[in-house]
Structure 1
Amino acid sequence: MDREKTLKRLQFRSWHRGTREADAIIGGFFDKYGATWTDEEIIWFENLLEHDDVDVMAWAIGTQPIPDQLQGPQMECMKQLDFVDPYK
């Protein structure tokens, strides 16, 4: 895995989701934590990005149950929403 290329691709995908809300949640999460992720955490995030934005946002705000394969420390971190910049 070429880490630098992968992270650039994930950053782009994170910030070009289709809605401002999804960009803020998914892109903000990537910007705050992505640079420190392990290869395993990068794979988790790639899997997350395969899901619909509406579902990802619902998991982050706690209005839908999180699928088993996405549960864990990264999702718990995403649920904190401490990375969302309301002014972006």
Structure 2
Amino acid sequence: MKKRKIPMRMCVGCREAKPKKELIRIVRNPEGEIHIDKKGKAPGRGAYICFDINCLEKAIKHKLLERALDVNIDPQIYDTLKSELMEEHES
């Protein structure tokens, strides 16, 4: 039986390539809103990040998410992403 190819994506924080299912997709939809895409199918420009809060903090510090999503991000959106990341990590 042939092995299935596992899609790999790179975390914007730590720059490690990991299986897509081990990462969270943050998406900028066509209206310019930024949110976490839980199913990985939302339309728009996406960036992937680990479930590790340190990766998110590194991405915030160096503005890596802004660069990947090609948009300026308000600090309150980062706070929302942190809280959603913590909820995702707990579940």
Structure exhibiting the larger radius of gyration computed from Cα positions: 2
Q: Which has the higher strand share?
A: 2
TM-score category of the 2 structures, normalised to the smaller one? 0.3 to 0.5
TM-score normalised to structure 1 length: 0.32
TM-score normalised to structure 2 length: 0.32
Instruction: Pick 1 or 2: higher relative contact order, CA cutoff 8 A, min separation 6.
Output: 1
